[in-house]
Structure 1
Amino acid sequence: MTRRLLRLWIGAWILGAAAVAAEPVPFHRGIGISHMLAWASVEPNRAFTFPPFAGDDRTMPPAEMRRLKEAGLDFVRLAVDPGPFLQFTGWKRDWADQFLVDTVQGFLAAGLAVVIDLHPSDLHPAYESKDLTAGLRSPGFQGYLGLVARVAGLLSGIGSPRVAFELMNEPTIAPAAWQPMLEAAYRAARSRAPRLTLVLGGGNQNALAGLTEMDTKPFTGDPAVIYTFHDYDPYQYTHQGASWNAAANLADVPYPARARPPGESLEATRRSIARSDIKAEGKPAAIASAVRQLESYQRSGFDRPDLARSFDAVSGWARSRNIPPDRILLGEFGARLTPFSGGAAQQAERERYFRDMRELAEANGFAWSAFAYRGLGGFALARDEVGPGLDPTVARALGLRQIEAAPQRP
């Protein structure tokens, strides 16, 4: 099919579908699943390990899936590393494709809807986000387009309205650069899956500006599109101690900003830097920088009204484009566990953060997906970080039921 004919065909489908009421959205309360099919391991020769995603730490028995459903969640956002699917050929690629389908069907059988999230990792240099989004005509992105079409076909073949496809997690490029690639990925998915629900996010790592700067005209009238954004504000709290973030050297940071005296965070941060592997000559500068961040955060008084402003901005953006609120997904939010997280005050702050985020999303009519069940980088929401089941503090904050014992069914 030529590109011109494909555009005409998609356009005709959209016009026809616009006259039909959109199907009810089956995604409301979700959780990210990152331990099963994401961050695939790589051999020294840069070949992905086969079979990919193997090991006891990557499994999730049906009873554990059902436990999430019984707690009150209705979908999972399943992160999938595109690297193996792009590198494998022949029977290995067929095996990986079937493994993906089987995993989706396992969650569906447990009563959970599924958003498949193509989630590039940084473990293989040829398949990082920056290489897959190097340009519309770049080999990496062209290969990615082929994968998008193939996965869309696989998911469409499952034949369930409870399956959606997120075309790329957190593109690292600017919204204007991502826009033509997003449109190309959308067309690729629609070429194989005319009615599959697609989840579209903007550039700048799915940040608020990435969404609000998106040109939605190419998708107007498509009743099977959901728009997504991620929100990790305030970073001083959510990413404290994360080596890849500006908050790397911060410790025992509260939420809200003035929940506890600032001296507690300052002292904990100084001790953390003193024990770190930062070279001795660099520690004074690290402490000075961290102190500036903490003082700025404390002065800001960051609290729920500051979180609410982001949600208000998304709601205004959606209204201006006649996008129903149930077609908006807060695709990620969360906060790292740290050595201080077990304290009573810190547990109360963690509960307040998750409750504020959940309540604000629901008040605006948005779906949400907390990150993540077993968390890479310290973002675990599972009981004891590995499960089964959710941490009680998180479960309360997210308005979920406490499931103390695993279901007895096999």
Structure 2
Amino acid sequence: MKYTNRPCSRSRFIRFGLLVLSSGLTTMICDRLQAAQPTIVKTSRLQTLAKGFNLAHWQRHSLLDGYYTEAKLQQYKHLGLTYTRLPVVLSTFFNDNNPGVLKTDSLAALDAIVRLHVKTGLGIILSPFDHPKSLYSDPAVLAKFVAFFKAFATHMNRTDPEKVFLEVMNEPNAETPQAWDRVQTELVKAIRLGAPHHTIIASSNVSATTNDWNNARSLPMTRIVADKNVVYNFHFYEPFVFTHQGASWGWRATQFMKNIPYPATLATITLPLSKIQDTEAKNAVEHYAQQQWDRDKIITLLSLIANWARTNNVAVICNEFGAIPWTVPRGSLLRYLKDVRQVLESLEIGWGQWFELDVHDAEVMQALGLKPIRH
């Protein structure tokens, strides 16, 4: 570009000054707008979400019973865990007649639990449990939950956003992921209004389609929300025939499944298969063996999630995985926990183990890559 040395007129000087001033104001306004918007998830928070245990006891019991003590949390910290996940049973805090005001009976106990985590140096995910099915179809119910989530987030806004994470919902079960998306969008907005700086844990629908109960497949169908300070969550209990063998809840067929190994082939499944009398259970176990579940199959399934996260430039977490420790064959349990945990870590996906385990069980702790606690 060629420059010429010309005198600057008064009018030209004034126009130039206004242009500079305008540019400065524009930059200032843009900076303030960006500062007001939720930021991307900080690396420090993703590190806090690396390894966790679920406080499953408090799904079934009162927060006031003091089951998880400071000593227990110190043990978790010693193991190498970085966070826990607390089931927040909605009926404890949700007032249907006045959803914008929290029920206070257990609020002090909840606050104490959160403070205890911060004191110990552990993160905590607060995860709402037991929502009504009508949430997906009734606008009036959704409006109540929007009011509640804003009130709950406002209350939690006083806590440390580096350690406290607000999950949208535990295992939403709409007919499709798209039906859940519509609800989640509104709930995320409500949470953000109440807690501008906390990281939100977005929930993926528990099933990919009406007949495909697979949270790992439903996550890539989940809509990315406008909010950037969000981590996307899924649960992993695949293969269900193995992880939930002997379960007395949920799918009726699992109660008839026993001694199912992992990894599995038709050869290794022959003996336990011959002892199953229930037709539905027998067919399911045979199908499980035909699929030849092993580490490579887990890598294939979880890599789809990692690729989805990279493509969409978002962070993901698996804050529930595991197998029933009192029904799954011991050797298979150890191999499964180690395989899933190592695959998740290799893909840089944080994890949370669900079924409560004995922290003094050295073999299980080692399978989870944790430091065993000696008696």
TM-score of the superposed pair, with normalisation by structure 2: 0.81
Q: Deviations over 1:240-261 (max 9, x none)?
A: 1223124332111111113973
* Structure index of larger Rg: 2
Q: What is the aligned counterpart of 1:354 among 326, 337, 341?
A: 337
- C-alpha distance in 1 between matches for 2:281 and 2:124: 40
Equivalent position of 2:104 in the other structure: 94
Q: Deviations over 1:272-323 (max 9, x none)?
A: xxxxxxxxxxxxxx2x322222222222211111111221111111121122
In the alignment of these two chains, the number of paired residues is: 331
- C-alpha distance in 2 between matches for 1:109 and 1:185: 29
Q: 1:23 to 1:236 in 2, by over 3 A?
A: closer
Give 2:365's aligned amino acid.
A
Q: 1:156 to 1:260 in 2, by over 3 A?
A: farther
- Taking the TM superposition and a 5 Å limit, the aligned residue runs for 1:9-408 are 17=37, 22-25=42-45, 26-36=48-58, 38-39=59-60, 52-55=62-65, 59-87=67-95, 93-120=103-130, 128-131=131-134, 133-135=135-137, 137-139=139-141, 141-173=142-174, 174-204=176-206, 207-219=215-227, 222=228, 224-243=229-248, 244-245=250-251, 246-258=253-265, 261-270=268-277, 286=278, 288-323=279-314, 327-339=315-327, 341=328, 346-373=329-356, 381=357, 383=358, 389-405=359-375
In the alignment, structure 2 segments of 5+ residues that lack a partner are: 1-31, 208-213
1:147 CA displacement: 2.2
1:364 CA displacement: 0.5
Q: 1:92 to 1:72 in 2, by over 3 A?
A: same
Partner SS for 1:138:
helix
Tell me, yes or no, if the aligned pair for 1:86 and 1:143 is still in contact at 8 Å.
no
- C-alpha distance in 1 between matches for 2:284 and 2:87: 32
Give 1:76's aligned amino acid.
T
1:92 CA displacement: 8.7
1:89 CA displacement: 8.3
Aligned-residue RMSD, C-alpha:
2.6
Tell me, yes or no, if the aligned pair for 2:262 and 2:332 is still in contact at 8 Å.
yes
Give 1:394's aligned amino acid.
V
1:156 CA displacement: 1.7
Partner SS for 1:312:
helix
1:129 CA displacement: 3.7
Equivalent position of 2:16 in the other structure: none
1:175 CA displacement: 0.9
Tell me, yes or no, if the aligned pair for 2:320 and 2:354 is still in contact at 8 Å.
yes
Runs of 4+ in 1 over 3 A off after TM superposition: 12-23, 52-55, 87-92, 267-270
1:154 CA displacement: 2.1
1:97 CA displacement: 2.1
Tell me, yes or no, if the aligned pair for 1:115 and 1:163 is still in contact at 8 Å.
yes
Tell me, yes or no, if the aligned pair for 2:216 and 2:302 is still in contact at 8 Å.
no
Q: Deviations over 1:40-71 (max 9, x none)?
A: 5xxxxxxxxxxx4444xx61121111001101
Tell me, yes or no, if the aligned pair for 1:254 and 1:260 is still in contact at 8 Å.
no
- C-alpha distance in 2 between matches for 1:96 and 1:114: 17
Q: 1:67 to 1:305 in 2, by over 3 A?
A: same
Tell me, yes or no, if the aligned pair for 1:265 and 1:294 is still in contact at 8 Å.
no
1:172 CA displacement: 0.7
1:159 CA displacement: 2.9
Tell me, yes or no, if the aligned pair for 2:362 and 2:373 is still in contact at 8 Å.
no
Give 1:32's aligned amino acid.
N
TM-score of the superposed pair, with normalisation by structure 1: 0.74
1:23 CA displacement: 4.9
Q: 1:53 to 1:217 in 2, by over 3 A?
A: closer
Equivalent position of 2:9 in the other structure: none
- C-alpha distance in 1 between matches for 2:280 and 2:97: 48
Greater alpha carbon shift after TM alignment, 142-151 vs 177-186: 142-151
Q: 1:296 to 1:175 in 2, by over 3 A?
A: same
Partner SS for 1:200:
strand
Q: Percent identity?
A: 23
Tell me, yes or no, if the aligned pair for 2:205 and 2:218 is still in contact at 8 Å.
yes
Q: Deviations over 1:313-359 (max 9, x none)?
A: 11111121122xxx2101111101345x4xxxx32211110011111
- C-alpha distance in 1 between matches for 2:218 and 2:344: 18
Q: Deviations over 1:91-111 (max 9, x none)?
A: 992232222111111122222
Tell me, yes or no, if the aligned pair for 2:216 and 2:235 is still in contact at 8 Å.
yes
- C-alpha distance in 2 between matches for 1:101 and 1:18: 24
Q: 1:20 to 1:149 in 2, by over 3 A?
A: closer
